[in-house]
Structure 1
Amino acid sequence: MSGSQMGGAGWEKLRADIQKSQFVLVGEDHGIAQIPLFTAAVAREFKPAIFVAEVDPYVAQAVAQLVAQPGPATAYLRRYPEALCFFDWSEEFELVRTLRAQQVQLLGLDQVFITTSAPFYAQLAGLVKGKVAKSYFQRQANKYQAQNQAFEKAGNDDFAMAKQPQSAIDSLGLLTQQEGPAAQKMAHDYALSYTIYQKQAHQLRVNLMKQNLVQALLPYQTATGPAAPKMLFKFGSNHLARGLSQSVKGEFYDIGNVVQNLADIQGQKSLHLYIIGKQGERAESDNPNFPAKRVGTYTVAENPELLPFLSQVAGPAWSAFDLRPLRRALTTSKLQLANPSLERTILG
């Protein structure tokens, strides 16, 4: 790998599989700077119509607008700290700009991000018609903006949504009851996200992402079934397995499983990639005033179940492992594994 240029036998094998696929899914460990460069290289070969990211639809909308302008999103992030989720990081932001130049649409599926109360309320204030609602949402937007700016300045990874009482969420619903469908949907989305964060309701989050994906694919439904275009996904690796999520802490079938089934329905292929670093640095926080956690290191010790693969990797070059032969051995009982996490990884 040199910049976003890839080469070598492993890349050539990967290129061949990319070109045979309708859906390519890049599962990652967030915050590793080389992964967006790799994703850009994949996109050049794959030529997707849609890039699907692990952000909410409102962040996706903001990012799409910002990458259409020259330069970084410095002014926006000064106004709304950490409000672009992973796209706060320059490598991720530039990936979307690169994809925009290739006419690729950005799609966000996730819950409303916890850092985005201020821009969310400001957008809602601009959408509603009622004077009382408009005034309230703008006041709240200003309040949450000041709170999040203060949190960032103090170096705290804390956010306005986490401090909101239930009464604030109730007000969202009440003040949008007489508004149009778009405002009501925003209120619903925010309230649902608040519940997900408060209850740490992972299954509810997974369900929401699936619903958002299905909704986004409705325009591609034909008389004979779905005809989704080429789609490139980039999420945390736990979300993109073909079957059960990698995590052994629960029984979750995530976005990767939906895409695998969609590919089957369309008579096409999905390619699921898991990108893992053996050792190095990764971003830990979006907050520039939180240096103790802004950049951290990782080692092979974080993924002991992957030692059979990582122990074979030497030097700075990337290595590619084709898990399909191992998968066939597992499903035909020719291979037995004692580690359920490793088994899920191979099957995913």
Structure 2
Amino acid sequence: MFVRLALLAATLALSVVDVAVADSGPLDKLKAHRLAITLDNGVLTGPGAAPLLEASRQAQYVLLGEDHGVAEIAQFSSAYFNALTPVGFTTLVTENGAVVTGALEGMLKRQDAVAAIARFNATYPDSIAFYTMREEAEMLAGFAVTAGPRFQYWGIDQEFLGSSKYLITSMLAQPVNPAARAKLEALLQMEAVAYRKAVDTGNPLAYLMLSASTEELASLGPLLADPKEQIALSLLDALLESRAIYQKSASRVPGDRDLSNRMRLALFKRTLASRLGAQEQKLLVKVGANHAYKGTNPLNNRDIGNFLAERAEGLGKTSLHVIVLAAKGKQLRFTGPGKPHQAALIELDSPAFKLLNSAGATDGSWSLFDLRPLRSGSRKLAAGDIELFNLINGYDFALIIPEGSASAQLATP
């Protein structure tokens, strides 16, 4: 009887503790699952490093959702990704067009990879998104070395705004008939004029990708009918699809921006599915924070994060989702055609992100939050805050860097 009473008393005591924990607010809950993590000479250390890396090594897909243009986030990404190569993570996926990423992949296998990216950017300006920032380019180059012979680099986005010159030049390098070649050479001359206008006016809509008429570009398609011209035709398709996405994004017609976003996400998923095929491999995916959510993201989309989470589950495997944000400081941003990128102030625009920051360490150290234990009670914890609910269920870990510094733009060689 005494034993039964003791067990009952213990059970009641645990129940009281559980209720107390369950009734604590989201700030206290986050603080209870905060771990310090440190970047020390390119290596992740501190109490948070081991659980993050252990969970990551067990996953099939690791997705890092970030705020672009922050030097510390690129440096964290480098240390994080490099630590995962020994368990088979040798393929990196980012937000660049598949064609330009193919060129980047070749550069990254060279000893002068960062300089090669700078030279490419000088020749084909505004063809590469994000990775003309020095810390980002160094992250790519370092990962390529660490991954070794199995290194692969995939781009799943539309081609960047200024990439028409590279796409047309690449088409001209293919075996094409005289009529198609004449058309391409004329387009290349038009591109030079359009680029100069874009630089002079500061208007990205003046780039050839957006300023040329649909008829001017599409008329090239029927000229590329020979089987030997299929690569050139696929490059044209990439140009036209990228153009369509940007046009809808720039449109003032109600609903067009949402349509642009859906078109872009469909491209993400289609490109990934075609690359993965029947032979699955581990992936490291580095994208903007909205893209890497499981479930529905803050834009009410089921993005690439959800796509890979579902795919992993269907394979009987897992995906891991990590969001990395700087609470304040500066980030480097694109400011227009031909113009130097500029540092801009970082502002956390979401109450959920501000709450994370409030739960962070007060001594200036980095804070890693393990969100997984909060998931079972997330609806009650969020108390109607859909952004907090989506954050807890959409990400497994959240890293808050107290203050970030703007990445540096690669110098023109």
Structure-1-length-normalised TM-score: 0.88
Matched, 1:118 2:165: yes
Which residue of structure 2 aligns with residue 269 of structure 1?
318
Secondary structure of 1:232 counterpart: strand
Partner of 1:63: 104
Paired AA for residue 306 in structure 1: F
- Residue of structure 2 equivalent to 1:253: 302
Q: Could you tell me which of 325, 342, 345 is aligned with 2:388? A: 342
* Aligned counterpart for 1:204 among listed residues 243, 263, 279: 263
* Counterpart Cα distance in 2 of 1:204 and 1:263: 23
**2: CA distance, partners of 1:78 / 1:286:** 17
Distance 1:267 1:75 in 2: 44
Q: Is the 8 A contact 1:111 1:208 kept in 2?
A: yes
Residue 6 in 1 paired to residue 47 in 2? no
CA contact (8 A) 1:279 1:297 kept: yes
Residue number in structure 2 paired with 1:45: 83
Which of 131, 134, 158 is 2:181 aligned to?
134
Q: Secondary structure at the match of 1:295?
A: strand
Cα RMSD over matched residues?
A: 2.2
CA contact (8 A) 1:161 1:194 kept: yes
Mapping for residues 141-152 of structure 1, pairs under 5 Å: 141-148=188-195, 151-152=198-199
Unaligned runs of at least 5 residues, structure 2: 1-38, 250-259, 395-413
Partner of 1:243: 295
**What's the CA shift for 1:212?**
0.6
Mapped contact 1:52–1:233 kept (Cα < 8 A):
yes
- Cα-to-partner distance string for 1:292-342 (whole Å, 9 max, x where unaligned): x61111134x23332221112234321111111222112xx5434322222
Provide the C-alpha distance between the structure 2 equivalents of 1:43 and 1:305, rounded to a whole number of angstroms.
Answer: 26
- Percent of paired sites with the same residue: 25
Question: Aligned partner of 1:337: which letter?
Answer: A
Name the residue aligned to 1:281.
330
Following TM superposition, by how much is the alpha carbon of 1:77 offset from its aligned partner in structure 2, in angstroms?
1.8
**Residue identity matched to 1:255:** I
Looking at secondary structure, tell me which structure has more strand per residue: 2
2:220 paired with 1:172: yes
Match of residue 80 from structure 1: 124
CA contact (8 A) 1:81 1:148 kept: no
Given that 1:59 and 1:85 are in contact with CA atoms closer than 8 Å, whether structure 2 keeps it comes out as no
- Secondary structure (helix, strand or coil) at the match of 1:92 reads helix
Q: Do the aligned partners of residues 177 and 245 (structure 1) sit closer, same or farther apart at CA in structure 2, a change above 3 Å counting?
A: farther
For the Cα contact (< 8 Å) 2:161–2:204, is it kept in 1? no
Verify the 8 A CA contact 1:37 1:91 in the aligned structure 2: yes
The structure that has the greater radius of gyration is 2
**1:28 matched residue in structure 2:** 66
1:288/1:193 CA distance change after superposition, 3 Å: closer
Any idea what SS the aligned residue of 1:114 has?
A: coil
User: Which letter does structure 2 place at the counterpart of 1:28?
Assistant: E
Using the alignment, how far apart are the partners of 1:123 and 1:337 within structure 2? Answer: 54
Does 2:57 align with 1:19? yes
Gap runs ≥5 in structure 1: 221-227
Instruction: Report the number of matched residues.
Output: 334
Give yes or no for contact 1:22–1:263 (8 Å, CA) kept in 2: yes
- Aligned equivalents of 1:193, 1:157: Cα separation in 2: 14
Match of 1:234 among 286, 295, 304: 286
Q: How far is the alpha carbon of 1:290 from its aligned partner?
A: 3.4
Query: Greater CA deviation, 264-273 or 208-217?
Result: 264-273
Task: Determine the structure 1 residue equivalent to 2:373.
Answer: 325
Secondary structure of 1:208's match?
helix
SS of match in other structure, 2:157:
coil
CA distance in 1, matches of 2:335, 2:99: 18
In structure 2, C-alpha distance between the alignment counterparts of 1:296 and 1:197, rounded to whole Å:
24
Q: Give the letter for the 1:111 counterpart.
A: Q
Q: Is residue 2:134 matched to residue 1:90?
A: yes
Secondary structure of the equivalent of 2:325? coil
Q: Deviation per CA, 1:173-228, whole angstroms, max 9, x where unpaired?
A: 233234533222222222222111111211111111101111001151xxxxxxx1
Query: Are residue 217 (structure 1) and residue 276 (structure 2) matched?
Result: yes
The one-letter code matched in structure 1 to 2:240 is A
Distance in structure 2 (CA, Å) of the matches to 1:88 and 1:140: 26
How far apart, CA to CA, are the structure 2 residues paired with 1:232 and 1:142?
39
Structure 2 residue 241 is matched with structure 1 residue 192 = yes
Q: Return the alpha-carbon distance in structure 2 between the equivalents of residues 16 and 138 of structure 1.
A: 53
Amino acid at match of 2:174: L
TM-score normalized by the length of structure 2? 0.75
